[in-house]
Amino acid sequence: MRLLGVIPHDASGSSAAAKRWRLLFQALADAGCETELLSVAPSDSGGLGNDGGLGFLDHHTRIAIPAGTSTVARYRLLRSRLYDACQERFAVGRPTAVLVYNQTAFAYGPLLSLAHRHGILRLAEFNEYHPPWVFRGGLASPFYWDQSMFRLLVSRNLDGLVGISSFWATWCPARTPVLVMPPLVDPARALPSVHDAGRNGFTIGYLGQCAARDLPGTMVDAVALARKRGFRARLLMYGRSPTATRHLAARHPEFVEDRGFIDEADLLATLQRECDAFLLLRRGDRESLACSPTRLGDYLNAGRPLIASDVGVIHDHFPHGTHCLRVPPDPPAALVADAIGTLCRDSSLAALLATKARERAEGALSHHVHARHLMDFVSRLKASARVSAGRAA
């Protein structure tokens, strides 16, 4: 089996998308799949000649996009350059399938048509719900297709969909096969669990960009309420410090701290050293259900318990009370504060939740498990395509 991945990011970079795909393609290569990758990097990044930890790939093509390129110009460059790069790769040898990253946001139409003409399976990984951007004439602003047109586009352009959450299995048109592939966890990075009996207070950690779907206001209100109930709780926020994070930290300096960006090499040790538990809250709307927390693996590998909304991968794999403490989507701050209080009072339960969650992740969310599922999915699609062709003949 041979799989060509197309991702409009620098695959050797530090973005969550790049790290997820590096892990996935490493596991595919370990499982004996031939792997190729097309990735995109700014032409001034200086990384175009560097493998960036991608030496396990059978072939890697980097496409240079000039730094500072406008959104519209980037869209048009990607359409042409991804198509040209696929033509070159198909001339060398046809892959079994092409997997594109987040087909909702980038210009894959021409290359998917090219793959179809060559008899190559067309797959896309969807990790969030945004109907595709369409640029018409000289307009500089995109407009969104409505949901019915989005579904039609999916059914026409793809032979299979890889969704990061179970939302996609119910949303997708019935005739389009779906593989649900939630966030990947690399068990090899897991830190040994520790129990800090002498820690001063109780620290909640959050890792992300303070997006609205993560309910940052609810997080802050819950920690404030826990403090009013007598628990010495505080909230540490990790990430690249968007404006929302800075405002929250400035508004509540007594218990909210903006810790900023932590280098990947130090991230897990820092999370384990500084945090007693993690918050992973979600709204219940379509956009929140369609995505899934890519940082879940870091939380689990840091060996601390999780308070999480009962949606997506949490609902599917982490039972309440044994593997995490679950709260509803859009939870009231009081319920989250109750969960914080439970962990503050019962350190044995906190340690048990962390251990059980990691064990479940190693079995269900390991990148090696996901790679096998993806290869089986491609094999089934290929077999069904052959049967259809034989019947048509």
**Integer Cα distance of 293 and 207 in angstroms:** 10
pLDDT, mean over the chain: 85
Q: Could you tell me the pTM of the whole model?
A: 0.85
> Residue 3: which pLDDT band, with cuts at 50, 70 and 90?
very high
Domains and CATH numbers, the chain: 2-184+366-392 (3.40.50.2000), 187-364 (3.40.50.2000)
89-107 pLDDT, tens digit per residue, is 999 889 999 999 875 545 6
Q: How many other C-beta atoms can be found within 10 angstroms of the C-beta atom of residue 5?
A: 24
Q: What is the pLDDT of residue 302?
A: 93
Q: How many other C-beta atoms can be found within 10 angstroms of the C-beta atom of residue 9?
A: 18
> Residue 19: which pLDDT band, with cuts at 50, 70 and 90?
confident
Given a contact cutoff of 8 angstroms between Cβ atoms, the answer to whether 258 and 245 are in contact is yes
| For range 277-284, the mean pLDDT | 94
> Residue 156: which pLDDT band, with cuts at 50, 70 and 90?
confident
> What SS3 class is residue 343?
helix
Q: How many other C-beta atoms can be found within 10 angstroms of the C-beta atom of residue 110?
A: 16
- DSSP character at residue 233: E
The H or E element containing residue 255 is none
> Residue 70: which pLDDT band, with cuts at 50, 70 and 90?
confident
- DSSP character at residue 360: H
218-266 pLDDT, tens digit per residue, is 999 999 999 999 999 999 999 887 788 899 999 999 999 999 989 888 9
> Residue 51: which pLDDT band, with cuts at 50, 70 and 90?
low
194-229 pLDDT, tens digit per residue, is 666 556 689 999 998 888 889 999 999 999 999 999
Q: What is the pLDDT of residue 141?
A: 39
Q: What is the pLDDT of residue 130?
A: 66
374 compared with 112, residue with greater pLDDT = 374
